[in-house]
Amino acid sequence: MINNYFYPLNFAGLGKEYSDYKSSFFTIIPVPFDSSTSYSPGARKGPLAIIDSSIQLEWFDDELELENYKLGIHTFNFLDTKIHPEKTVEILEKVVGKVLKDGKFPIVIGGDHSLSYAPIKSLKEKIGNFTVIHFDAHSDLRDEYQGSKHSHACTARRILDLDIPVVQIGIRSLTREDYNFIKSNPSKIKTFFAREIYNSTKDYPLIEKAIKTDNIYITFDVDVFDPSIIPSTGTPEPGGLGWYQVLEILKMLVNKRNLIGFDVVELAPNTSGPSEFIIAKLIYKLIGYITFKKEKKGEKIIKKEHKH
Ligand SMILES: [Mn+2]
């Protein structure tokens, strides 16, 4: 078969039976968009780099003893972003709405952080009550930045405007105004600063305690990682979290709460490091945690394994 000489360019390089829209539970929505980036652009190249790197992933996960793709991972074509930025967010909102209506799990790959507003707004309409878990080096609480209310520096503030509580993890760069806002709104926002949780697991139960809803959504800015791990991002900050620390927190979140969707944003690939592969692996791990939990709960996984 001449087909054997080609591999599919979708997330994890899966064959048709595990990447079809109809039969897949997970959907990857690539959005090559960075119109709101303030410092160094390039996040528009994130989705292609992550998907390209994901082809190298080993399908087997030794921690879970599982092939994490088992529930199917569909990768959409790239969202057309050659339109007005606000229009992009509007269209993305519709796409996520359709994915949810079809009973599937949305994973948005950016792109810059302003995108997260779309899946969160869509989930608010469909699901109602949930908490956003916001991994980031930056608090993103500005009401307005560089003349825009939808800048990537305003993401958390816009989420709060939707009346959705926010729990922040890994923050280490913010204005005094943002800091005061956090301190004076304890019922809406709880922030775990990087310096508080760095190198320690004792705060994880506190993170869990801060989440008052069963449903959670994760918005994951890759700059939450230490730049020694992920140098390829528009606004890097020293003192970030480590790989196993992030995985421990994600696993705790998946196990203790009901994760209804996530996005991964702000990867600005360059040729200097392994960043894009690490982020592809992060996404695959998170898919694995969800799949493992479903399997443990006895939810039927009908698909059989397939070979590389
Ligand atoms: Mn950030």
In tens, the pLDDT along 85-143 reads 778 889 999 999 999 999 999 999 999 999 999 999 999 999 999 999 999 999 999 99
Share of the chain above pLDDT 90, in %: 75
Q: How far is the CA of 39 from the centre of ligand 1 (A)?
A: 11
- The β-bridge partners of 262 are 107, 218
Tell me which of 10-24, 26-40, 131-145, 151-165 is least confident.
26-40
Contact criterion met (CB below 8 Å) for 73 and 18: yes
Which residue from 215, 207, 236, 225 is spatially nearest to 281, judged by alpha carbons?
A: 225
pLDDT at position 273: 61
For residue 38, pLDDT beyond 70: no
For residue 307, pLDDT beyond 60: no
Q: How far is the CA of 69 from the centre of ligand 1 (A)?
A: 29
Q: How far is the CA of 169 from the centre of ligand 1 (A)?
A: 11
Q: Amino acid identity of 111?
A: G
**Helix, strand or coil for residue 99?**
helix
Confidence band for 5, pLDDT divided at 50, 70 and 90: confident
d(CA 270, CA 224): 18
- CATH number for domain 15-296, candidates 3.40.800.10, 3.30.565.10, 1.10.1200.10, 1.10.132.20: 3.40.800.10
Q: Choose between 37 and 162: higher pLDDT.
A: 162
Q: Any idea where the domains of the chain sit in the sequence?
A: 15-296
Q: How far is the CA of 44 from the centre of ligand 1 (A)?
A: 15
- The β-bridge partners of 131 are 216
Which residue from 226, 224, 289 is spatially nearest to 252, judged by alpha carbons?
A: 289
For residue 264, pLDDT beyond 60: yes
* Helix, strand, coil percentages, rounded to 5, for the chain: 40, 20, 40
pLDDT at position 139: 97
Digit-coded pLDDT (tens) for 170-186? 999 999 999 999 999 99
- Give the count of alpha carbons within 13 A of 223, CB side only: 24
pLDDT at position 288: 96
Which residue from 74, 71, 80, 56 is spatially nearest to 19, judged by alpha carbons?
A: 74
Share of the chain above pLDDT 70, in %: 94
Q: Which long-range contacts (CB under 8 A, 24 or more apart) does 9-12 make?
A: 9/51, 9/52, 9/55, 10/51, 10/73, 10/74, 10/75, 11/50, 11/51, 11/54, 11/73, 11/75, 11/280, 11/283, 12/54, 12/55, 12/57, 12/59, 12/69, 12/73, 12/284
Tell me the pTM.
0.92
pLDDT at position 207: 93
Greatest mean pLDDT among 140-144, 271-275, 301-305 lies in 140-144
Q: How far is the CA of 136 from the centre of ligand 1 (A)?
A: 5
Which residue from 78, 83, 76 is spatially nearest to 35, judged by alpha carbons?
A: 83
pLDDT at position 300: 64
Q: How far is the CA of 228 from the centre of ligand 1 (A)?
A: 15
Q: How far is the CA of 195 from the centre of ligand 1 (A)?
A: 16
Q: How far is the CA of 256 from the centre of ligand 1 (A)?
A: 26
Confidence band for 291, pLDDT divided at 50, 70 and 90: very high
Mean pLDDT over residues 41-45, rounded? Answer: 86
Which residue from 157, 165, 168, 156 is spatially nearest to 249, judged by alpha carbons?
A: 168
Per the prediction, the chain carries an average pLDDT of: 91
Q: Which structure tokens are listed for 90?
A: 């509007």
For residue 267, pLDDT beyond 90: yes
